[in-house]
């Protein structure tokens, strides 16, 4: 059995020793020293080896597309083109995004572990995102100046904010944004780039051991794959080597890691995720794949928890609002729409040490059906006991309570 000893020193780096029994029958041990820097900074021959430009590009595309959900002159074709961008198409205000060969659609439900042999579900998930775009244009934009009510799409205004919902009270932009956290950012990070199927593909492990870099690059293939997972979390941070200084740099995973960090019940989670990313990357440099995989499991557990906690948080926030004498339906439905997106994203989570999510497709779909099923008008009919039931179902699979998530 391999035993890993962590020794912390007061210096610019942390040294870790991994004592690994050789694969042969001898009793000799091999010591692997892991130089774990204080920031996510790695170099080879004086050049940085950290690169995740594609992830930054996709996050920027997602940000601009979400902005398009609030411009009621946009057509469905315009928004769909932003989602399924083709290189050189004039889809974005940012010329660099237009020049990119990247797209959001191509990486939605596209992980090696969950979707490489599951084209049917992949197509259904992508169809969901496309339907939310079409719904925003054909239902919400079409009723932009109509007062929403049960069974009627339109606006919910309280004098301070105006929300735009479909006939069942859902905000399509929130479904799209929070669903993308799962189907793109989480799925790609946890189930693709941190997957051993991707990290160790082909000659990747041998090349990493030999320090063989990709053609024209300063990094090995394995280093780059790990960095790409990192980029889906920290791709827009001003200083990505020390991202906890400005959490909330995007509207996706980065923002909600920051939200949990602000909650005393979950304080420390941001550093746990960052430290696991950093140590895992340092382990790759050192060629210690047991430490690498242990850090991947920590990241999977903690990012999955972020999705679950925020789903419960928004459910409970809405329940409180709906219980008021004069409920603010705009605020309540906004929170429930965010919850809907996070519940949708549960199927992309990953239980550490397994190849499975915390919630299967059928389980997450059942929760969404419960949320919308208290009456013919969806959120307009939702009951407090239903919200509590769903919240308890989610929390029961994680190491937190509904009360902790609700604060």
Shared-domain flag, residues 32 and 142: no
Is residue 104 in a domain? no
Is residue 49 in a domain? no
Q: What is the pLDDT of residues 346-357, one digit of tens each?
A: 999 999 999 999
Model confidence at 30, pLDDT cuts 50, 70, 90, reads low
pLDDT at position 16 over 80: no
**How large is the average pLDDT for residues 211-235?**
98
Shared-domain flag, residues 141 and 29: no
Confidence at residue 400, expressed as pLDDT on a 0 to 100 scale: 98
Is residue 185 in a domain? yes
Is residue 7 in a domain? yes
Shared-domain flag, residues 32 and 144: no
Q: What is the pLDDT of residues 163-183, one digit of tens each?
A: 999 999 999 999 999 999 999
Shared-domain flag, residues 267 and 156: yes
Shared-domain flag, residues 147 and 22: no
Question: Is there a contact between 182 and 349 (Cβ–Cβ < 8 Å)?
Answer: yes
Shared-domain flag, residues 170 and 279: yes
Shared-domain flag, residues 24 and 167: no
Confidence at residue 39, expressed as pLDDT on a 0 to 100 scale: 98
Show the domain range for 31: 1-38
Give the chain's mean pLDDT.
93
Is residue 239 in a domain? yes
Is residue 57 in a domain? no
Shared-domain flag, residues 147 and 6: no
CA distance 64 to 97: 10
Confidence at residue 380, expressed as pLDDT on a 0 to 100 scale: 98
**How large is the average pLDDT for residues 321-329?**
97
Model confidence at 31, pLDDT cuts 50, 70, 90, reads confident
Residue bearing tokens 């008021």? 324
pLDDT at position 13 over 90: no
Shared-domain flag, residues 165 and 296: yes
pLDDT at position 24 over 80: no
Model confidence at 3, pLDDT cuts 50, 70, 90, reads very low
Is residue 349 in a domain? yes
Q: What is the pLDDT of residues 146-155, one digit of tens each?
A: 999 999 999 9
pLDDT at position 60 over 50: yes
Question: Is there a contact between 359 and 367 (Cβ–Cβ < 8 Å)?
Answer: yes
Number of domain units in the chain: 2
pLDDT at position 20 over 70: no
Shared-domain flag, residues 267 and 395: yes
Shared-domain flag, residues 141 and 34: no
**How large is the average pLDDT for residues 267-281?**
98
Shared-domain flag, residues 21 and 141: no
Q: What is the pLDDT of residues 79-121, one digit of tens each?
A: 999 999 999 999 999 999 999 999 999 999 999 999 999 999 9
Is residue 116 in a domain? no
pLDDT at position 321 over 50: yes
């Amino acid at each position: 059995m391999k035993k890993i000893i962590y020794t912390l020193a007061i210096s610019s780096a942390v040294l870790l020793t991994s004592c690994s029994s050789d694969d042969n029958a001898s009793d000799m041990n091999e010591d692997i020293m892991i130089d774990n820097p204080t920031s996510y900074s790695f170099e080879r021959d004086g050049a940085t080896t950290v690169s995740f430009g594609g992830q930054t590009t996709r996050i920027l595309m997602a940000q601009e597309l979400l902005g398009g959900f609030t411009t009621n002159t946009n057509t469905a074709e315009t928004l769909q083109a932003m989602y399924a961008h083709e290189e050189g198409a004039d889809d974005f205000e940012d010329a660099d995004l237009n020049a990119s060969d990247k797209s959001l659609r191509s990486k939605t439900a596209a992980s090696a572990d969950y979707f490489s042999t599951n084209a049917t579900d992949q197509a259904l998930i992508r169809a969901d995102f496309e339907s939310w775009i079409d719904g925003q244009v054909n239902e919400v934009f079409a009723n932009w100046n109509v007062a929403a009510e049960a069974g009627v799409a339109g606006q919910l205004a309280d004098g301070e904010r105006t929300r735009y919902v479909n006939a069942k009270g859902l905000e399509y932009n929130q479904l799209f944004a929070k669903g993308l956290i799962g189907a793109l950012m989480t799925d790609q990070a946890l189930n693709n780039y941190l997957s051993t199927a991707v990290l160790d593909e082909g000659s990747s492990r041998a090349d990493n051991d030999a320090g063989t870099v990709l053609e024209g690059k300063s990094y090995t293939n394995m280093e780059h794959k790990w960095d790409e997972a990192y980029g889906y979390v920290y791709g827009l941070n001003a200083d990505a080597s020390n991202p906890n200084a400005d959490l909330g740099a995007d509207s996706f995973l980065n923002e909600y890691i920051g939200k949990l960090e602000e909650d005393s019940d979950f304080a420390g989670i941001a550093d746990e995720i960052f430290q696991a990313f950093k140590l895992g990357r340092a382990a790759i440099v050192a060629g210690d794949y047991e430490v690498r995989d242990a850090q991947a499991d920590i990241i999977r557990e903690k990012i999955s928890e972020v999705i679950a906690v925020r789903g419960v948080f928004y459910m409970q926030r809405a329940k409180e609002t709906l219980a008021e004498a004069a409920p603010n339906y705009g605020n309540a439905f906004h929170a429930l729409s965010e919850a809907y997106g996070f519940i949708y994203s549960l199927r992309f989570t990953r239980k550490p040490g397994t190849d499975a999510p915390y919630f299967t497709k059928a389980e997450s779909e059942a929760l969404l059906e419960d949320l919308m099923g208290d009456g013919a008008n969806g959120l307009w009919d939702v009951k407090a006991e239903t919200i509590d039931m769903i919240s308890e179902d989610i929390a029961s699979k994680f190491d937190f309570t509904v009360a902790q998530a609700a604060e």
